[in-house]
Structure 1
Amino acid sequence: QTGTLTEEGLDVWGVVPLENNRFVPIVHEPRRLPAGEALPSRRPPWFQRLEMTEEEEGEPPVFQQFGTKVLAVMRPPPEEEQPRGTKHRTPVGILRRFPFSSSLQRMSVLVKLPGEASAHVYAKGAPETVASLCRKETVPVDFSQTLRHYTTDGFRVLGLACKPLSAVTTFEEALQLPRDSVESGLTFLGFLVMKNVLKPESAPVIRLLRNANVRPVMVTGDNMLTAVNVARSCRMVEPKERVVFVSASPPGHDRPAALRFLLAEHSQGEEPLEALHRRDGPFLRPQPRHLALNGKSFAVVCEHFPDLLPKILIRATVFARMSPEQKAQLVCSLQELDYCVGMCGDGANDCGALKAADVGISLSEAEASVASPFTSRAANIECVPTVIREGRCSLVTSFGVFKYMALYSLVQFVSVLLLYTINTNLSDFQFLFFDLIITTTVAVLMGRTGPAQELGVERPQGALISVLVLGSLLLQTALLITVQVLSYFITVSQSWYVPLNSTVTAPQNLPNYENTVLFCVTGFQYLILAVAMSKGYPFREPLYTNVLFLVVLILLFSLMIWLTLYPLGFPKTLLKLQGIDDLNFKLLLLGIATLNFFAAFVLE
Structure 2
Amino acid sequence: MRMWRPSIAASEGIKSKEELQQAKDKWGKNDFELPMPKFYELLKEQLVAPFFVFQFFCMLLWCLDEYMYYSLMTLLMLVIFECTVVKQRQQNMSTLLHMRRAPQPCLVYRQSKWTQVSSDELVPGDICSIGHNERDTVVPCDLLLLRGNCVVNESMLSGESVPLRKEAVGASIVNDAEQLKNLEIDDGSSMKHKRHVLYGGTKVLQHSTPSSKDSLRVSSPPDGGCVGFVLKTGFGTTQGSLMRTILYSSQRVTANNSEAMWFIVLLLNFAVAAAAFVLSQGINDPTRNQFKLFLHCVMIITSVVPPELPMELSLAVTNSLIALTKSNIFCTEPFRIPFAGRIDVCCFDKTGTLTSDELKLHGVAGLEAHVEPDKYRGKRGGELDIIAPEQLPLDTELVLAGCQSLVLLNGQVAGDPLEMTAVRNINWCLTSNEGRAQGLPSVQPSFFSDRRGEIQAVDIVHSFSFSSELKRMTTIVCVRKADNDEQDEQRVLTKGAPEVLESVFINKPSYYRRVYRHYASKGCRVLALGFRVLSGELSTDQLRCKPRDELESELTFAGFLVLDCPLKDDTKRTIRELMISKHKVTMVTGDNPLTACDVARQVGINAGYSKQPLVLTPNAESGSVEWKSIDDGSPDVEDETIPFNVDEVEKMQVQYDLCVTGEALSTLYKQQEDKCDDNAAVLEGFLAVLEKMCLCATVFARTSPQQKEHLIMAMNRCGKTTAMCGDGTNDVGALKQAHIGISIVNSSSSENTPHVVDSGRGSGSAGQSGLRNRRQAGHRSVREMQQSLSSSDDAQIVRLGDASIASPFTSKSSSIRVIKKLIRQGRCTLVTTIQMYKILGINCLITAYYLSSLFIHGVKNGDQQLTISGLSIAMFFLFLSRAKPARKLSHQRPPSGVFCMSVMVSIFGQFVIHLAFLAAALHVAQPFIEPGDPAMHPDGNFTPNVVNSIMFLMSSIMQVNTFVANYRGQPFMEGFWENKLFCRSALFNYAVLAAVISEIFTPINAMLELVAMPNQETQLVVAALMTGDTIVTLAFEYAVQMIVFVST
TM-score > 0.5 by shorter chain: yes
Distance 1:266 1:365 in 2: 32
Q: 1:7 and 1:40 mapped to 2: Cα distance?
A: 26
Residues 69/245 of structure 1: CA separation in 2 closer, same or farther (3 Å cut):
closer
State how far apart, in whole Å, the 1-side matches of 2:882 and 2:940 are.
38
Q: Distance in 2 between matches of 1:537 and 1:595?
A: 25
Q: What residue in structure 2 maps to residue 2 of structure 1?
A: 350
Equivalent in 332, 342, 362 of residue 13 of structure 1? 362
- Which of 254, 257, 262 matches 2:628? 262
1:120 aligns with 2:491: yes
1:370 Cα deviation from its structure 2 partner: 2.7
Letter in 1 for 2:392: L
- 1:419-568 matched pairs, under 5 angstroms: 419-435=854-870, 437-493=871-927, 500-501=933-934, 504-505=937-938, 508-566=941-999
In the alignment, is residue 413 of structure 1 matched against residue 848 of structure 2?
Answer: yes
- Alpha-carbon distance in structure 1 between the residues aligned to 2:594 and 2:628: 13
Q: CA deviation at 1:27?
A: 4.0
Q: Secondary structure at the match of 1:540?
A: coil
Which of 611, 614, 639 is the equivalent residue of 1:244? 614
CA 41–194 in structure 1, closer or farther in 2 if over 3 Å, else same: closer
Deviation at 1:221, TM superposition (A): 0.6
Q: Deviation of residue 405 (structure 1)? A: 1.2
- 1:195-234 matches, within 5 Å, as 195-234=564-603
Residue equivalent to 2:231: none
Compared CA separation, residues 19 and 70, structure 1 to 2 (3 A): farther
Query: What's the offset of the Cα at 1:287?
Result: 2.3
Query: Deviation at 1:143?
Result: 0.5
Would you say 1:172 and 2:605 are equivalent positions?
no
Native 8 Å contact 2:472 2:496 kept in 1? yes
| Amino acid aligned to 2:385 | I
Q: Answer yes or no: is 1:78 the counterpart of 2:446.
A: yes
Aligned residue in 1 for 2:665: 298
In 2: Cα distance, 1:266 partner to 1:143 partner: 12
* CA separation of 1:425 and 1:567: change in aligned 2, threshold 3 A: farther
CA gap 1:288/1:210 in 2 versus in 1, 3 angstroms = farther
SS at match of 1:87: coil
Distance 1:521 1:41, change over 3 A: closer
Residue matched to 1:61: none
Q: Is residue 292–residue 319 contact of structure 1 (8 Å, CA) maintained in 2?
A: yes
CA distance in 2, matches of 1:286, 1:170: 57
| Partner SS for 1:53 | strand
Shift of 1:19: 4.9
**Structure 1 gaps, min length 5:** 59-67
Corresponding residue of 1:133: 504
User: Which of residues 476, 481, 500 in structure 2 aligns to 1:110?
Assistant: 476
Give CA-to-partner distance per residue, 1:467-498, whole Å, 9 cap, x none: 3222222222222221112112112347x999
C-alpha spacing 1:202/1:365, structure 2 compared with 1 (3 Å) = closer
Give the whole-Å Cα distance in 2 for the aligned partners of 1:228 and 1:553: 53
Q: Residues 168 and 336 (structure 1 numbering): CA distance in 2 closer, same or farther, change over 3 Å?
A: farther
Distance 2:891 2:825 in 1: 15
Q: For CA contacts below 8 A with separation 6 or more, give which structure has more relative contact order.
A: 2
- Which residue identity does 1:462 align to in structure 2? S
Do 1:355 and 1:371's aligned partners in 2 also have CA atoms closer than 8 Å?
Answer: yes
Cα–Cα, structure 1 residues 525 and 42, in superposed 2: closer, same or farther, change >3 Å? closer
Whether the 8 Å contact between 2:862 and 2:942 is mirrored in structure 1 is no
Pair 1:474–1:49, CA change in 2 (3 A)? same
Q: Which is further off, 357-366 or 508-517? A: 357-366
What secondary structure does 2:914 align onto? helix
The separation in 2 between residues aligned to 1:271 and 1:557, in whole angstroms, is 70
Distance 1:558 1:346 in 2: 54
* 8 A contact 2:880–2:982 mirrored in 1: yes
Aligned mates of 1:298, 1:275 — CA distance in 2: 12
Deviation at 1:310, TM superposition (A): 4.0
Match of 1:32 among 391, 398, 404: 391
Q: 1:364 aligns to what?
A: 745
The normalised TM-score by structure 1 is 0.87
Residues 19-45 of structure 1, C-alpha deviations (whole Å, 9 max, x = no match): 54897453442122355x765699545
CA distance in 2, matches of 1:101, 1:520: 72
Distance 1:502-1:244 versus aligned 2 partners, 3 A rule: same
**How many Å separate the matches in 2 of 1:282 and 1:164?**
48
Work out the CA distance in 2 between the residues paired with 1:320 and 1:569: 75
Residues 588 and 498 of structure 1: CA distance in aligned 2, closer, same or farther (over 3 Å) = farther
Read off the aligned partner of 1:482 and give its amino acid letter: A
- Relative to structure 1, the CA distance from residue 513 to residue 72 in structure 2 (aligned partners, 3 Å threshold; closer, same or farther) is same
- Percent identity between the aligned chains? 26
> Using the alignment, how far apart are the partners of 2:396 and 2:851 within structure 1?
92
Q: Is the 8 A contact 1:224 1:294 kept in 2?
A: yes
User: Can you list the C-alpha shifts for 1:278-334, whole angstroms capped at 9, x where unaligned?
Assistant: xxx999356242111210112223453867644433321111100000001011112
Shift of 1:549: 1.1
What amino acid maps onto 2:902 in structure 1?
L
**CA RMSD of superposed structures (Å):** 3.2
The residue number in structure 2 matching 1:63 is none
**What secondary structure, in the 3-state scheme, does the structure 2 residue paired with 1:544 have?**
coil
Tell me the distance in 2 between the aligned counterparts of 1:501 and 1:30.
Answer: 102
Sort the Cα spacing of 1:185 and 1:570 in 2 relative to 1 into closer, same or farther, 3 A. same
For the residue of structure 2 that corresponds to 1:76, the secondary structure is strand
Task: Select 1:313's aligned residue among 680, 683, 694.
Answer: 694
Amino acid of the structure 2 residue aligned with 1:602? A
Greater displacement, 377-386 / 7-16: 377-386
Q: 1:142 to 1:209 in 2, by over 3 A?
A: same
For 2:731, the equivalent position in structure 1 comes to 350
Mapped partners of 1:139, 1:409: distance in 2? 77
- Distance (Å, rounded) in 2 between the aligned partners of 1:236 and 1:282: 18
Aligned length: 580
| 1:162–1:189 Cα contact (<8 Å) kept | yes
Check whether the contact 2:357–2:565 (CA below 8 A) recurs between aligned residues.
no
CA contact (8 A) 2:746 2:814 kept: no
Bigger shift: residues 538-547 or 503-512: 503-512
SS in 1 for 2:874: helix
CA distance in 2, matches of 1:229, 1:568: 72
For 2:1011 and 2:502, locate their aligned partners in 1 and report how far apart those are by CA, in whole Å.
94
Q: How does 1:42-57 map to 2 (within 5 A)?
A: 43-44=401-402, 46=404, 49-50=423-424, 51-55=428-432, 57=434
Residue ranges of structure 2 left out of the alignment (5+ in a row):
1-348, 372-381, 405-418, 673-685, 748-800, 1038-1048
8 A contact 1:422–1:502 mirrored in 2? no
Matched residue type, 2:879: L
Once residues 910 and 827 of structure 2 are traced to their aligned partners in structure 1, the CA distance between those partners, rounded to angstroms, is: 23
- Aligned match of 1:64: none
CA contact (8 A) 1:393 1:539 kept: yes
1:124-146 Cα distance to aligned partner (Å, 9 max, x none)? 11112223233x3x211110111
Distance 1:292 1:42, change over 3 A: closer
**One-letter amino acid matched to 2:429:** M
